[in-house]
Structure 1
Amino acid sequence: MKRFRKPVIVVICFLAMLSFMQSALADAGSFDIGLDGETPIPSLVASRLKELSNQSVGRVLSPNELAEFQDILKKHGWPTYRTSGPEIIEICGDLLRRSGQDFSFQRYMLRLLDQQVGDDIRPAAYARIADNIYAAHEDKQLYGTLWRLDGDRALTWPPIKSEDGMLFFRDFYGMPSLDEELAAISKASPDSYHNVYEGALAQPSATYSRPDIRRTLGDLIYLDQQLRNELSKAKAKGDEALSEKVREKIVAIDRENLSRLKAIFDEVGFPTREMVGIDGVSTAFLLVQHADEDPLFQRHALALAEPLMRQRQMSRRQFAMLSDRVSLAFGEPQVYGTQMVMQDGKYVLQPTIDIDNLDSRRKEMALGPHLKMLESANSDEN
């Protein structure tokens, strides 16, 4: 059985998501549950899970049923499509929804399932489960999949826990923006949208046309993030000598990664979801952002990415960040206000065009208001 999956690709989550992830991880010590790995859940155990599901329809699991469900997952892991098939995933999803007597367990499992979203877990169905769980315990939702009708208008209800976290998730997985969705619901039958979210949790495991490139990107980002984590730790300790040594290593690894990244782009252009998966595209973006030594390459990559971004085949947020980085590298003001600089002890925007309309442009790219971004950055710094 696997614990939290050692990633082939590191999915880059923005700071806005950290509060949810950290709250889930805070409960991780209470449970010893991973994925089922290479061994399918035994047929007798699968039959027992079906019995638990059938006998608990329409209610929460009793303490004994919940304990049994948890014990099964501790022993065998959460089922994956490759090893146990879709039916058992659906059953476990139903049981997770009914595990409301233990919110910390539900949060832990959401964190575990998060790494399967887009692989064998359907993003929309995962979002609805998470929203129902949080709505039941905190009267808040994470991703905006719950709503009510006010006359002929659809409104999110209960309120969103973190707007930026919601924007990130919807953008990352190519879901409609919340405004687009609410407008469509208001014009059409709400039931059609309930079906989108209440459909199957499982989906066939993702396949990739270029697994070799996916593996290469995984290797590159592993070193990239390992060194940057070391730098963060050194800075937190106030060890300037160590920080400088790590910075030198980062410069060297960025240069090496750039060479290998260029070879990939020369062969296939900007890697697509079909080639390397959602997280692979995200990883390619991050590596390009760290290629500051070659702004011409960054601008070339940005041009290749734009049509894919407009088709929602990659994150608009990451595209905006790279676009701003390229603009500043060529001495031009940024468009989306994603790049900040420390000035007089606090973060401020680097030169940005048309500040009055900045938040409108940011909204188009699934970014929240710029003042909230600055407030968050400065509160983290303090």
Structure 2
Amino acid sequence: MRSELAQRVAEDQALRVQLSTDAEPDMAVFERLSATDEANTAWMKDLVARHGWPTIARVDAAGAGDAWLLVQHADHDVDFQEHCLELLRVAVAADQASAKHLAYLEDRVAMHRGRPQRYGTQFVQAPEGQSGFVPHTLADEARVDEWRATVGLGPLAEYARGINGKNGNGED
């Protein structure tokens, strides 16, 4: 299970890196990525149905992180993401998964469901006339850094600078 998780994440990340570094996005790579995400989701559904959530005790911390990443990228199946969110909550409460991963998945599901996000982990393209990316709607802008700190995430402004490059405007 652990080696399969690592192999699937390696392929996932290789495709995403290729898309992010290509000057012109290649539709064939997009299609491969979509097929990879769907195959990974089907595999994770089977794994979760047979064994439950892949906890730190079962697959070590790196394996638990790999499981989270595959679910995080299952955007075509938000119902499954939401199901895993509940399993991840239980695992985090038992110190068997990362609270950071829980925050990212919670925000991802909220964004896909059209709800505000709590931790500010999910970004969208800036409005027309602006460059870069901005956080998806926040549940409470005044408390976002407080909530981020509780799960070990740094301030939102620092994260946004990282998302948008050194200058904070989408330029490196």
Asked if TM exceeds 0.5, the reply is yes
Counterpart in 1 of 2:67?
284
The question of 1:227 aligning with 2:15 is answered yes
CA distance in 2, matches of 1:304, 1:296: 13
The 3-state SS of whatever aligns with 2:125 is strand
**How many equivalent residue pairs?**
165
Task: Report what 2:143 is aligned to.
Answer: 357
Per-residue Cα deviation, 1:45-88 (whole angstroms, up to 9, x for no partner) = xxxxxxxxxxxxxxxxxxxxxxxxxxxxxxxxxxxxxxxxxxxx
- After superposition, residues 150-189 of structure 1 pair within 5 angstroms as none
CA-CA distance at 1:224 after TM superposition? 1.0
Asked if structure 1 preserves the Cα contact closer than 8 Å seen for 2:57 and 2:96, the reply is no
- Once residues 311 and 255 of structure 1 are traced to their aligned partners in structure 2, the CA distance between those partners, rounded to angstroms, is 29
Distance 1:224 1:338 in 2: 20
Q: Which one of the candidate residues 159, 163, 168 is aligned to 1:373?
A: 159
Structure 1 position 336 matched with structure 2 position 134:
no
The correspondence of residues 180-199 of structure 1 with structure 2, limited to 5 A, is: none
2:39 matches 1:215: no
1:239 counterpart (14, 24, 47): 24
* Aligned-partner SS, 1:341: strand
Q: How does 1:41-190 map to 2 (within 5 A)?
A: none
State the distance in 1 between where 2:163 and 2:7 align.
Answer: 30
Paired amino acid for 1:252: A
Structure 1 residues 346, 229: CA separation in 2 closer, same or farther (over 3 Å shift)?
closer
What is the rounded CA distance, in whole Å, between the counterparts of 1:310 and 1:303 in structure 2? 11
In structure 1, distance between residues paired with 2:20 and 2:157:
25
How far the C-alpha of 1:233 sits from its partner, in A, is 2.6
- The Cα shift of 1:375 comes to 2.2
Q: Write the letter of the residue equivalent to 1:218.
A: A
Q: TM-score, normalised by structure 1?
A: 0.42
The percentage of counterpart residues that share the same residue type is: 34
- Residue by residue over 1:81-135, the C-alpha shift from the partner in whole angstroms, topping out at 9 and shown as x without a partner, is xxxxxxxxxxxxxxxxxxxxxxxxxxxxxxxxxxxxxxxxxxxxxxxxxxxxxxx
Secondary structure at the aligned position of 2:117 is classed as coil
Q: Match of 2:142, SS? A: helix
Structure 1, unaligned runs of 5 or more: 1-212
Report the aligned-residue RMSD. 1.3
Give how far 1:275 is off.
Answer: 1.2
How far the C-alpha of 1:222 sits from its partner, in A, is: 2.1
Q: Secondary structure at the match of 2:96?
A: coil
- Structure 1: distance between partners of 2:12 and 2:100: 20
Q: Which residue of structure 2 lines up, in the alignment, with residue 253 of structure 1?
A: 36
Q: Distance in 1 between matches of 2:79 and 2:19?
A: 27
Structure 2 CA distance for aligned equivalents of residues 336 and 229 of structure 1: 25
Structure 1 residue runs of 4+, over 3 Å off?
none
TM-score by length of 2: 0.90
Q: Secondary structure at the match of 1:221?
A: helix
Structure 2 gaps of 5+ residues are none
- After superposition, give the CA deviation of every residue in 1:197-256 in whole Å (9 maximum; x if it has no partner): xxxxxxxxxxxxxxxx1122122112211211221231xxx223xx22211110011111
Aligned equivalents of 2:89, 2:68: Cα separation in 1 = 12
